[in-house]
Amino acid sequence: MRWIAALLVGMSLSVLASAQTPSAPPTIFTTRDFHQDRDRWTDPAYYENNTVGQLRGMAIDFDSGGRGSGQEASARARGSKGTGRVGALNLASPYPFTNAWDHYQAWLKDARGGTRHTKNTIPDWSGRWAGGPVGLDGGPNPASTVAAMLTAEYRERFVQEVKAAAEGRLWGPGSFCLPGGFFASLGAEEFIVTPDRVWTLAAGNGENYIRWIYTDGSGHTAKDSEFVKWHGESIGFWDRDALIVHTNQIHGWKGGLSEFTDNLETVERYRRVGDRIEGEITLYDPAVFVRPVHATMRFRIDPETRPELRPLYNTCTDTNGPSAKVFMDERGILNERLPGDPLFWDATDPRPWRTYLDESDKRYERYRSTQGR
Amino acid sequence: MNGPAPVCYIRRMKRTALLTCAMALAVASPALSHHSHAMFDHSKEITITGTVTEFAYRNPHVLLYLSVKGDNGETVRYEIEMSNISNTVTRGIRPSTFKPGDVITAKVHPLKDGRPGGNYVTIVAADGKTYD
């Protein structure tokens, strides 16, 4: 009897102990409702110290450029611990400016109104380049660092997106043949430099990226003619051999650290140093960022010269098919889907991924419950 | 192993910044518009043999179509999704590599839902050369 009593006492203590042991705080991998974890979104432990790239790598099959699938090279098992290092890369602007125009004007003043180049003095940036912004997805920092740079509303959107990505539920504009947006245009492959204008060109797989940067002093279009454009509207000036660019009228979309609004404005600076072009970009979007965001830009000459690898004009629809907006109806006549029709594409929805992610969250929860998870 | 390219990457970036995500320090992909391959079962590899019907050498994905005889004797049209053109070139696959009528054998990660499609791993061409 004595050992039975001891066993019962032991079991009681065990039950009490387990009841008193605080349960592990939720992570992005264990939470049932991430909306309830607001106070944990800026904690690296919430992401198991994963970087944004590592979280997305749980869903993405990165291409390896000819040596095999990145599925093995970069994909990580969902829930695995990451290698994020707090403070590894400073995402905050080092400049005192609170808006892009003041920033641009200050640099214009420093350049004494800018350097007017001729065909003979314009810097030579010819060649094929490879590069773009460094760490603009948060780089080696844990995802919490990105969350901390965002305002409450955009922080919530960010967590929803990376959580879904880590669960294999990824929304990317390319999957739907939609434009990559402003940040996709920053990976210039060619800089065509003239005294009055600079063009940057890049060939994507599903679209092409062009920017026109007016350095002729003509400035931006008048306020009453402004409208948002996928790559915005860029003007610039030269400070000796450095190009400074101001961009506004950018179509709000996804890219960089997070979603961004139509009010995003940027200031860039580029300079050729040997076989590299070094630069930087500062992002101003007060509704999204708690402080202006800064990233370096890095390009190097691409030694690849094979003719068969020259840039192509690309359209996503070549293999992904035409828009769902227009279809052939039962009469065999081209027709258009309207609001309320199945597969209707709402061209006025500024956040098409919201519809996707919200519906995906619901379906995933249903799926998890049917799987007993 | 080969995998199809995420749609809309900058072409050169793809070749040079593969480990961007893993290293999280390399140059950021400007495209940020990745194509999830959650529809493919990367834990499985199946081998299929069939006759080439079309070879679409196009972006964002090169596509190879095969006529494959199923277990029940019926012929099905099988789609193999490959990488983008520049990566396909890098792997030595050219527009003339596969021609209608060629009998080839491919290893693929199949679609999870069982439909006749898969994500290219390796292909043995009609001349016996293996592309991976």
Residue type present at position B25: L
Of B2, B13, B60, the CB nearest to A206: B60
- A63 pLDDT more than 50: no
Burial A101-127 (b: 16+ CB within 10 A, else e): eebbeebbeeeeebeebeeeebbebeb
Identify the pLDDT of residue A58. Answer: 80
- A247 pLDDT more than 70: yes
Average pLDDT over chain A reads: 88
Of A63, A72, A139, the CB nearest to B14: A63
- A67 pLDDT more than 50: no
Top-confidence residue, B64 or A1: B64
- A68 pLDDT more than 80: no
- A74 pLDDT more than 80: no
CB pairs under 8 A between A and B: 260
Residue-wise pLDDT for A214-227, tens only, equals 999 999 999 999 99
- A195 pLDDT more than 50: yes
Identify the pLDDT of residue A21. Answer: 53
Beta bridge partners of B130: B124
CB-CB contact of A243 with A200 (8 Å): no
Identify the pLDDT of residue A5. Answer: 54
pLDDT category of residue A372 using cuts at 50, 70 and 90: confident
CB contact under 8 A, A54 and B21: yes
Identify the pLDDT of residue A60. Answer: 57
Identify the pLDDT of residue B36. Answer: 61
CB-CB contact of A33 with A26 (8 Å): no
pLDDT category of residue A4 using cuts at 50, 70 and 90: low
Check CB contact of A279 with chain B, cutoff 8 Å. no
Top-confidence residue, B13 or A148: A148
DSSP E strands in chain A: the ranges are: 129-133, 190-193, 197-203, 208-214, 233-239, 242-248, 254-255, 258-259, 265-273, 276-284, 293-301, 326-328, 334-336
Name residue, tokens 């800026």.
Answer: A42
Give me the torsion for CA of A167, A361, A253, A351, rounded to 10°.
170
Name chain A contacts of B8, Cβ cutoff 8 Å: 172-174, 180, 184, 204-207, 316
Q: What is the pTM of this model?
A: 0.82
- Using CA atoms, how far residue B52 sits from B25, B73, B79, B99, in Å, is 42, 18, 10, 6
- A27 pLDDT more than 90: yes
What number is the average pLDDT over the span A280-295?
98
Percentage of chain A modeled with pLDDT above 90: 64
- A301 pLDDT more than 70: yes
**Which span out of A81-90, A162-171, A348-357 was modeled with the highest average pLDDT?**
A81-90
Angle at Cα A110 formed by Cα A108 and Cα A114, nearest 5°?
Answer: 45
pLDDT category of residue A344 using cuts at 50, 70 and 90: confident
Name chain A contacts of B85, Cβ cutoff 8 Å: 205, 312
Name chain A contacts of B89, Cβ cutoff 8 Å: 306, 308-309
Identify the pLDDT of residue A69. Answer: 38
Q: How far is A188 from chain B (nearest CA, A)?
A: 9
Identify the pLDDT of residue A110. Answer: 98
Residue-wise pLDDT for A94-153, tens only, equals 999 999 999 999 999 999 999 999 999 999 999 999 999 999 999 999 999 999 999 999
CB-CB contact of A114 with A239 (8 Å): yes
What number is the average pLDDT over the span B32-57?
80
Name the nearest CA neighbour of B130 among B101, B100, B97.
B97
- Asked if the interface predicted TM-score (ipTM) of this complex is over 0.90, the answer is no
Identify the pLDDT of residue A180. Answer: 94
Identify the pLDDT of residue B16. Answer: 31
CB contact under 8 A, B38 and A316: no
Domains and CATH numbers, chain A: 86-321 (2.40.128.20)
pLDDT category of residue A50 using cuts at 50, 70 and 90: very high
Angle at Cα A95 formed by Cα A251 and Cα B21, nearest 5°?
Answer: 60
pLDDT category of residue A8 using cuts at 50, 70 and 90: low
Identify the pLDDT of residue B13. Answer: 37
* A208-214/A197-203 β-pairing: antiparallel
CB contact under 8 A, B3 and A66: no
- Count of CB atoms within 10 A of residue A298's CB? 19
Domains and CATH numbers, chain B: 11-131 (2.40.50.140)
pLDDT category of residue B24 using cuts at 50, 70 and 90: very low
Top-confidence residue, A16 or A286: A286
Residue A274 CA to residue A17 CA, distance in Å, equals 66
What number is the average pLDDT over the span A8-27?
61
CB-CB contact of A84 with A51 (8 Å): yes
CB-CB contact of A194 with A83 (8 Å): no
Check CB contact of A138 with chain B, cutoff 8 Å. yes
CB contact under 8 A, A184 and B33: yes
Q: How far is A2 from chain B (nearest CA, A)?
A: 55
- A19 pLDDT more than 80: no
